[in-house]
């Protein structure tokens, strides 16, 4: 679902992309709530949040992305391949805090 948002970003339709990412996040959050033991469902939430955090004014901060990912790591459901993204989210959140 996020792929359409990615296409809209590349086309310069940031409002359309934001709307698509918001819709994807809503669906992902519902599925994650229904499947709390599913690492894949939980991953879909932070992936949608990540895309929104990259967009200025999206309402999703890097600190929120980091908190979601760290909670997954703490529960042991963050995929090992996603550790690199956790570190990037940590760096992005630190940079974001430095701008405040």
Domain edges within the chain: 2-99
Among the listed ranges 3-7, 24-28, 43-47, 57-61, which one has the minimum average pLDDT value? 3-7
Q: How far apart are CA 7 and CA 22, in angstroms?
A: 15
DSSP code of 56? Answer: T
Q: Is the pTM of this model over 0.75?
A: yes
Confidence class for position 100, pLDDT limits 50, 70, 90:
low
Confidence class for position 68, pLDDT limits 50, 70, 90:
very high
- CA distances 37 to 8, 32, 41, 52, 91, Å, are 32, 8, 8, 24, 28
- Check if the beta carbon of residue 74 is closer than 8 Å to that of residue 68: no
**Three-class secondary structure of residue 80 per DSSP:** helix
């Amino acid at each position: 679902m996020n792929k359409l948002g990615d296409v809209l970003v590349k086309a310069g339709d940031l409002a359309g992309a934001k709307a698509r990412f918001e819709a994807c996040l809503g669906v992902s959050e519902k599925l994650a709530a229904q499947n709390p033991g599913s690492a894949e469902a939980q991953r879909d939430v932070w992936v949608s949040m990540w895309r929104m955090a990259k967009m200025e004014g999206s309402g999703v901060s890097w600190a929120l992305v980091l908190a979601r990912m760290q909670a997954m790591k703490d529960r042991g459901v963050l995929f090992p391949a996603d550790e690199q993204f956790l570190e990037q989210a940590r760096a992005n959140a630190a940079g974001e805090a430095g701008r405040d």
